[in-house]
Amino acid sequence: MKWLVYVVLNVVLVLSARAELTIEITQGVDNPTDIAVVPFAWQGPGSSPEDIAAVIDGDLARSGQFAPVGRADMLGRPTTGAEVFYRDWRALDTEYLLIGRVSVAGQMRIEYELFDVLRQTSVYSGVETGPVNEARMLGHRVADAVYEKLTGIRGAFATRLLYVSVTRVRGGNDYSRLTLADSDGARPIVLLESREPVLAPAWSPDGQEIAYVSFETSRPAIFRQNLATGQREQLTNFKGLNGAPSWSPDGNTMAMVLSKDGNPDIYLMDLASKRLTRITRHYAIDTEPAWMPDGKSLLFTSDRGGRPQIYRYNLRSATTERVTFEGTYNARARVAQDGRNVVIVHQRDGRFHIALLDLVTNRLQILTSTELDESPSIAPNGSMVLYATKYADRGILAAVSVDGDVKFRLPAREGDVREPAWSPYMSR
């Protein structure tokens, strides 16, 4: 009859097993994730034209979400899954490990694999191929894939930046250069060089075209330019101010500031017919239009209340409402793709900072601590904000994460650098 006792015990155990302890975890520390990017194996003649692993390493480090392991600390340099010894990486407290191989057969081909060191499994593997002279872009794409896998947010490393650099010329007109570069500031290409000012570069939503203001015709005019073909079109040539072009999310309309009818107001231009619609009509200055991602409304800066503040114009109802109330200076809004986070220039204690405005909670958070920060531009995945600031009496570009925790300066080049514009996601 002993078995009966066991049966009873079993029933009791089954019963008691149901009341299992559940511990709730409602907080975290959010330190950067440790990842090791092992130098990729080069499987071609000579040496690799580009250190792909270094490109990826740099991308992940700049995001602030990752803390890459230094190469000198690596106990091994595996390039295939069979060569991975997890204990080597566990010893370094590394959470993830990225390895890869690069080969060239006409095109460059990068094979890579991402491992979870703690669980000792492969998380993801992939292949990127492309022209050899696009090696860095291929590296950025690998970084994008790793970033998305581990953060749940699409990576924005394989994107481009536009900015204006001005070289001072003693006793003459300055040189203005409109420059295109990788998201890390590498590979700058000058798109336009002028002895007259170039301003306000902006991207088309597909990333294929740009718009900007150039004074080359001796008065400000808005141009649009195709990046692949170099083809240019002058969109406006009005008396007075022609500025601040902003492409609508569907690519069909451009918002701009014109003063042809008196003082600066916001207009919409239908890009096919070039027909203009005036959407603000106020004796104050209305400027710096920025589309909401749904294309149904625009944010703009106006001093109609006495001081510059952000307002929102609803296209359907043709109504305007004030958006910012904190402080006496809020200007130049740029909206993240989530339609919730807005980056602006905010003045506090006489200093100009980049701030993040949450349109849902209306909370304003200052992101930067330098004092002459301007022209914020947000990454297409909403994770980083690029802006112009002053460093050692020069205009430079800097970036800050949307939580304000990570800041870095982009490599400084000659001249004053200003007005950065972060591209949308680039189609391949």
Partner 1 sequence: MNTSIYAKPVAPRIVYRPILATLVLHGLMLYFLTVNWTDTGGEVTRVKPVPRVINARLVDVSEFKPKPKPKPAAKPKAKAKPRPVAKAKPKSKPKPVAKVKPVAKPKTAVKPKPKAEPRISEQELAAIARADLSHAMAQEEQVQATATADEMAASFAALIQQTVVNYWNRPPSARNGMEALLAIQLIPTGEVVSVTVLKSSGNTAFDRSAINAVEKAGSFPELQNLPSREFEKTFRRFRLLFRPEDLRY
Contact footprint for partner 1 (CB under 8 A): 1, 4-5, 7-11, 14-33, 65, 95, 116, 118-119, 123, 149-153, 358, 360-361, 383, 403
Least gap, CB of 307 to partner 1 (angstroms): 28
Query: At a CB cut-off of 8 Å and minimum separation 6, what does 183 contact?
Result: 59, 140, 156, 157, 158, 159, 160, 161, 379, 422
CA atoms within 13 A on the CB side of 206: 10
Helix axes 52-63, 135-151, angle to 10 degrees: 40
Cβ(274)–Cβ(307) below 8 Å: no
In whole angstroms, how large is the CA radius of gyration of the chain? 26
Least gap, CB of 368 to partner 1 (angstroms): 17
Residue whose C-alpha is closest to residue 372's, from 391, 352, 393, 355: 352
Least gap, CB of 367 to partner 1 (angstroms): 13
Least gap, CB of 155 to partner 1 (angstroms): 11
Least gap, CB of 313 to partner 1 (angstroms): 26
Least gap, CB of 389 to partner 1 (angstroms): 24
- Is residue 18 within a helix (H) or strand (E), and if so which, with residue range? helix 2-18
| 86 vs 391 by CB, closer to partner 1 | 86
| 86 vs 238 by CB, closer to partner 1 | 86
Least gap, CB of 117 to partner 1 (angstroms): 9
| 116 vs 196 by CB, closer to partner 1 | 116
Q: Is beta strand 96-105 parallel, antiparallel or unpaired with respect to 41-42?
A: parallel
Residue type at 382 in one-letter notation: G
Q: Give the DSSP letter of residue 69.
A: P
Least gap, CB of 5 to partner 1 (angstroms): 5
| 4 vs 72 by CB, closer to partner 1 | 4
Quickly count: other Cβ atoms within 10 Å of residue 210's Cβ.
24
Instruction: For residue 52, give both structure tokens.
Output: 């792909």
Query: At a CB cut-off of 8 Å and minimum separation 6, what does 374 contact?
Result: 332, 345, 352, 387, 388, 389, 418
Least gap, CB of 292 to partner 1 (angstroms): 18
| 65 vs 330 by CB, closer to partner 1 | 65
| 2 vs 316 by CB, closer to partner 1 | 2
End-to-end CA distance of the chain: 75
Report d(CA 259, CA 265) in Å as an integer. Answer: 6
Report d(CA 234, CA 211) in Å as an integer. Answer: 10
| 118 vs 372 by CB, closer to partner 1 | 118
| 41 vs 335 by CB, closer to partner 1 | 335
Widest CA span of the chain, in angstroms?
Answer: 109
Residue whose C-alpha is closest to residue 247's, from 290, 286, 183: 290
| 71 vs 149 by CB, closer to partner 1 | 149
| 88 vs 371 by CB, closer to partner 1 | 88
Least gap, CB of 312 to partner 1 (angstroms): 20
| 331 vs 356 by CB, closer to partner 1 | 356
Least gap, CB of 22 to partner 1 (angstroms): 4
Alpha-carbon separation of residue 337 from 250, 291, 304, 314 (angstroms) = 13, 10, 28, 18
Q: Which residues pair with 286 in a beta bridge?
A: 302
**Three-class secondary structure of residue 16 per DSSP:** helix
Cβ(417)–Cβ(168) below 8 Å: no
Q: Which residues of 299-310 are buried (b: 16+ CB within 10 A; e: fewer)?
A: bbbbebeeebbb
